[in-house]
Amino acid sequence: MPTMNSKLVAPLLGAALALFGAAPALAVGTRTFVLDTLDSFKGGELKGVAVGSDGTVRAGLSLANLPIIEATTAWDSLLLSDGSVLIGTGPTGRVHRIKDGKATLVAETDALGVSTLVLGFDGLAFAGSFPDGKIFKLAPDTKDAKKLEPWVTLPETEDVWELAYDAKNKALYAATGPEGRLYRIDAAGKAEVYFDSEESHLVSVAVATDGKVYAGSSGKALLYEITAVGRARVVHDFEGDDVRAIAIAQTGAHAGAIYAVANDYRGALKQLRPPKRARMAPSPSDDKSMKAGHGRLVRFGKDGVLERLLDDDETHFASLALDAAGAPYVGTGAEGRIYTVDDNHVTRLVADTEERQITAILLGEKSRHVIGSDPLVYHDVTGQGGEAAVWTSKVLDAGLRAHFGLLDLTADGQLEIETRSGNTDPPDATWSEWSKPLATSGKLESPAARFLQLRARFARDPSAVLRGLRVAFVTDNARAVLTEVAAGEKDTDTGSASVPASGAQPSEPSSKLRLQWKLDNPDSDELRFRLFFRGDKSPRWTSLLEPREVLTKREYTWETAGLPEGRYRVRVDATDELANAPGQATQHSLESQVVLVDNTPPRLEKLSLKGSRLAGRATDGVGPIQRVELALVGDNAWYPLVPTDGVFDEATEDFDLDVSQVITTGPDVFVVVRAYDAAGNRINATVPRQP
């Protein structure tokens, strides 16, 4: 999903003038914070609200928090008939039970994780684990923590990633690794290989009502349909690494459809180091830098047609669930968020938790919960909207102290909008209190400050929809200050202090000089520039622009062909008069260094080539001479010459030197001498050889 940013809209000049009368002194043009998209709405804090890709905020899932500090990851959860919830956890392979708002440890294993839970034979709960390929049967009345003995240990299997129970055919399916096998286990615990894939891991499995089994792999991210022992076809080959989760709709308009989450982890494991020799108790783990991947939610309709429902470039998905109406929900592998998407592909962010991942979701009719991992927090879904449903924007930055004007609210139903302001990001105790709630558009009462935050409460009307917020503001008018004015060819690096390479070719001559300037404009208001020049020794400035010409760019090409050769200076005036009322505009000026205007080439005089001795003089009207070189006629190789005084630094340079190493012997030798001035103008002259 794209990165969220609130829109900072620069108004037209006319709008600025229209609002001038109400603006406080020293104000620049009015600008506006606009929040009306998913990205702009989701950047703040979401409590019990849902932010949609259609640019709306609604009351969403209200979550209660129950941290389980004994574990880090919830691998799976399971609702029991008595309303309690089992959670398979890691990294120490335990099962916790949530009942009456309390979490208790009910079972321990030798595993690193209890990776999957399912209701199976006789309504009992079964748990799969890794890394020993064990499946456990949990007693229905488990109360006290006890060490579980394995019910089944799958052969040549380390990891049981997911279990699925086929109640109709009384079979338990286990998606496993690292041999990529799907096992079918009967009530007696007898396991047979139902499907042996070419992948190393099958990480997801689901059973359709028609008895077909769907399994997702890790490796090539294949979704298989298995219809009998050893009989399978690839439903889809996803781009990425795995088919992390599969869900089959039992109800709703898409009953029978297959939902699948496919992830691309972007080579996250490449950063891992090779195994080390065993050490004593390991030092604190430093494996925190694994980046989030890319997640995708798709649906295969009953006709088998694939429909992409949701793509997220910022995170992969760690969980998938369908609610009672058959709507899909995914939990993200980063940022701990839950999204849902409707048939119109409107994506809605329904919960944003403090955890890194959402690894288990259950939104059924009897029980609704989501579980965040890293750290592990069980969230009971307490309802929709209500007192706790609050959307809080991210901190909006005006850049300078701002005076806030009208808050324009677009909403359905009754919302309460509050604001606060301050000069720190994030907010601290120096911020103002939240303002009195606004039910409709109105004057924003928070005091002038650089930062602003807004929040919307859905307590009065759970069905209310926030569609947009616009806040007008004007900042203090800070003067723009020019920091550098430079003249040169295009792409001149005016900030470089490096010395040109020795012997470098002179630049091509041009009568057009590119003027560029840099400035610091704290309030970002629009600026107008005026340009002037004068001779280096002259006190009189002449405008480079036409009287009515408005220059707002930070560069200008100056045609110097009509100017006498010589040294000049350029001045830039910067003013914010375009964004401020007369009398309130500010200005700053800065002159350039000396600018050389030289459009004529140098002259070559007194050239002679006697034997192997080449002599002559190069003279320029403005100077200095930059380079003199020679070549044999007909030869493209140019050899630089050294002036008599050793340095090219004056308008006239003599040279007299032995060039025997360059020219060939014989009477019919001609050499070409070429001289450049500092502006790149050049002249060629042919010199015959004299005996």
Binding site for other proteins (CB under 8 A): 72-73, 75, 90-93, 108, 110-113, 115, 130-131, 147, 158-159, 161, 177-180, 198-201, 203, 218-219, 241-242, 244, 263, 265, 267-270, 272-282, 284-288, 290, 293, 316, 318, 333, 356-357, 359, 373-375
3-state SS track over 408-456? EEEEECCCEEEEEEECCCCCCCCCCCCCCCECCCEECCCCCEEEEEEEE
**Of the two residues 244 and 450, which places its CB atom closer to other proteins in the complex?**
244
Work out how close the CB of 318 gets to other proteins at its nearest, in angstroms, rounded to a whole number.
6
Instruction: Read off the amino acid at residue 252.
Output: G
As a whole number of angstroms, the distance between CA 328 and CA 339 comes to: 8
Q: Which is nearer to other proteins, 356 or 617 (CB)?
A: 356
**Smallest separation (angstroms) from other proteins to the CB of 370:** 15
* Distances 565 to 41, 363, 600, 620 between C-alpha atoms, Å: 60, 82, 8, 11
Question: What are the beta bridge partners of residue 242?
Answer: 218, 263
> What is the token pair recorded at 679?
């502006």
Query: Shortest gap between Cβ of 177 and other proteins (angstroms)?
Result: 6
Could you tell me the smallest distance in angstroms from the CB atom of residue 278 to other proteins? 5
DSSP-derived letter for residue 21 is: G
Separation CA 662–CA 463 (nearest Å): 90
User: What's the min distance (Å) between Cβ of 333 and other proteins?
Assistant: 6
- In whole angstroms, the minimum distance from the beta carbon of 113 to other proteins comes to 7
Q: How far is the CB of 141 from other proteins (least distance, A)?
A: 22
Which amino acid makes up residue 180?
A: G
CB of 283 or CB of 552, closer to other proteins: 283
Closest Cα partner for 495 from 504, 506, 484? Answer: 484
Q: Closest CB to other proteins among 247 and 675? A: 247
Closest separation in Å from C-beta 236 to other proteins: 17
With respect to other proteins, which residue has the nearer C-beta, 286 or 428? 286
Beta bridge partners of 53: none
Q: Which is nearer to other proteins, 38 or 292 (CB)?
A: 292
- Classified as helix, coil or strand, 672 is strand
Backbone φ and ψ of 269, nearest 5°: -85, -10
Name which of 204 and 592 has its Cβ closer to other proteins: 204
Residue 90 CB, nearest approach to other proteins (Å) = 6
Rounded distance between C-alpha atoms, residue 407 and residue 397, angstroms: 16
Residue 22 φ/ψ, nearest 5 degrees = -90, -5
H helix intervals, 31-75: 38-42
What's the min distance (Å) between Cβ of 352 and other proteins?
A: 17
CA distances from 265 to 175, 241, 244, 271 (A): 20, 6, 11, 12
- Tell me whether residue 111 or residue 350 sits nearer to other proteins (CB atom): 111
Q: Which of 156, 153, 230, 158 is nearest to 194 (CA)?
A: 230
Q: Which helix (H) or strand (E) holds 14?
A: helix 13-18
Residue (373 or 516) nearer to other proteins, CB:
373
Angle at 39 between CA 33 and CA 45, to 5 degrees: 85
Q: Which helix (H) or strand (E) holds 13?
A: helix 13-18
The rounded distance, in Å, linking the Cα atoms of 142 and 575 is: 78
What is residue 551's DSSP assignment? B
| Pair of tokens at residue 140 | 């229905």
CB of 207 to other proteins, least distance (A): 21
Q: How far is the CB of 281 from other proteins (least distance, A)?
A: 5
- On whether the CB atoms of residues 686 and 633 are closer than 8 A, the answer is yes
Of 94, 76, 357, 250, the closest CA to residue 85 belongs to: 76
- Determine how many CB atoms are found less than 10 A away from the CB of residue 463: 12
Provide the minimum distance between the beta carbon of 92 and other proteins in the complex, in angstroms, as a whole number.
6
Compare residues 3 and 283 and give the one whose CB is closer to other proteins.
283
- Neighbouring CB atoms inside 10 A of 503's CB total 8
**CB of residue 159 to other proteins, shortest distance in Å:** 7
DSSP designation for 259:
E
Contact, 414 vs 458, CB < 8 A?
Answer: no
| Contact status, residue 418 vs residue 454, Cβ threshold 8 Å | yes
As beta bridge partners, residue 480 has: none
Q: Which is nearer to other proteins, 336 or 643 (CB)?
A: 336
Nearest residue (CB) to other proteins, 188 versus 280: 280
Return the structure tokens found at 316. Answer: 């992969």
| Residue closer to other proteins, measured from CB, 203 or 581 | 203
Which secondary structure element, helix H or strand E, spans residue 307, and what is its range? strand 306-312
Q: Which is nearer to other proteins, 73 or 477 (CB)?
A: 73
Nearer of residues 63 and 360 to other proteins, judged by Cβ: 360
Least distance between other proteins and beta carbon 369 (Å): 18
What's 339-368 look like in SS3? EEECCCCCEEEEEECCCCEEEEEEECCCCE
3-state helix, strand, coil in the chain (%, to 5): 5, 50, 45
Which one, 289 or 665, has the nearer CB to other proteins?
289
Q: At its nearest, how many Å lie between other proteins and the CB of residue 130? A: 6
